[in-house]
Amino acid sequence: MVKLAGDQFTQVVLLAQSADSAKLIAESLYDLYGDLTSALTIHDSEFRWPKTKTINTQIITGTPSTTRDYSKNYKCFDLSDIKVLIVDEVDTFVKVQNCQDDTIRIARELSAGCKVFLFSEINETNQMDVQNFAERLQGCNINIQVSIQSVRFLTYIT
């Protein structure tokens, strides 16, 4: 089990395909777990985390490109400190090349012990696309185990 309380750096990055999805996820997390600290890394000036401030919240929720910018360009947090990466709605990611590429770039920066979860709805149309995306992650410094379940797809990378 990953311990979230007590550490002074971000431990979970949750990637969503759009800023609206990221905001919705962040709001849901706050509603369910009000004691968790979180930051939004999106291109929305009203809600986003300041680019000049270090992020030391427990969870970061954002889009892949902006989350990567906050780590690499603005140096707000270090991806190698992340313990868990969650990618929501992978079936939408496979339709947008930039989302795939930025997620792969993020995965390459993770430590070997990081756990990665991919969530997706699966059907006959997108199953191979999602599977291929998960296999692309194998080129990163992490190991991948894939299991496909009816309706939901869960990938656990250790």
Q: Is the pLDDT of residue 44 over 80?
A: no
Residue in this structure with the two tokens 């991948």, named with its chain if needed: 144
Q: Please tell me the predicted confidence (pLDDT) of residue 155.
A: 46
Q: Is the pLDDT of residue 156 over 50?
A: no
Confidence of residue 6 (pLDDT cuts 50, 70, 90): low
Asked if the structure places residue 121 within a domain, the reply is: yes
Asked if the structure places residue 3 within a domain, the reply is: no
E strand or H helix at 115: strand 115-121
Asked if the structure places residue 127 within a domain, the reply is: yes
Asked if the structure places residue 7 within a domain, the reply is: no
Q: Is the pLDDT of residue 109 over 70?
A: yes
Q: Please tell me the predicted confidence (pLDDT) of residue 72.
A: 94
The proportion of the chain whose per-residue pLDDT surpasses 90, expressed as a percent, equals: 26
Domain of 74, CATH number, reads 3.40.50.300
E strand or H helix at 78: none
Give the residue-averaged pLDDT of 102-125: 86
Give the residue-averaged pLDDT of 2-19: 75
Please tell me the distance from the alpha carbon of residue 123 to that of residue 58, in angstroms, as a whole number.
33
Asked if the structure places residue 34 within a domain, the reply is: yes
Give the residue-averaged pLDDT of 11-26: 91
Q: Please tell me the predicted confidence (pLDDT) of residue 9.
A: 74
- Residues forming beta bridges with residue 119, ordered by sequence position: 154
Q: Is the pLDDT of residue 123 over 90?
A: no
Q: Which domain holds residue 84?
A: 12-157
E strand or H helix at 45: none
Asked if the structure places residue 5 within a domain, the reply is: no
Domains held by the chain: number: 1
- CB proximity list for 31: less than 8 A, separation 6 or greater: none
Q: Please tell me the predicted confidence (pLDDT) of residue 104.
A: 93
Q: Please tell me the predicted confidence (pLDDT) of residue 45.
A: 66
Q: Is the pLDDT of residue 157 over 70?
A: no
Q: Please tell me the predicted confidence (pLDDT) of residue 65.
A: 93
Count CB-CB contacts under 10 A for residue 97. Answer: 9
Please tell me the distance from the alpha carbon of residue 148 to that of residue 154, in angstroms, as a whole number.
6
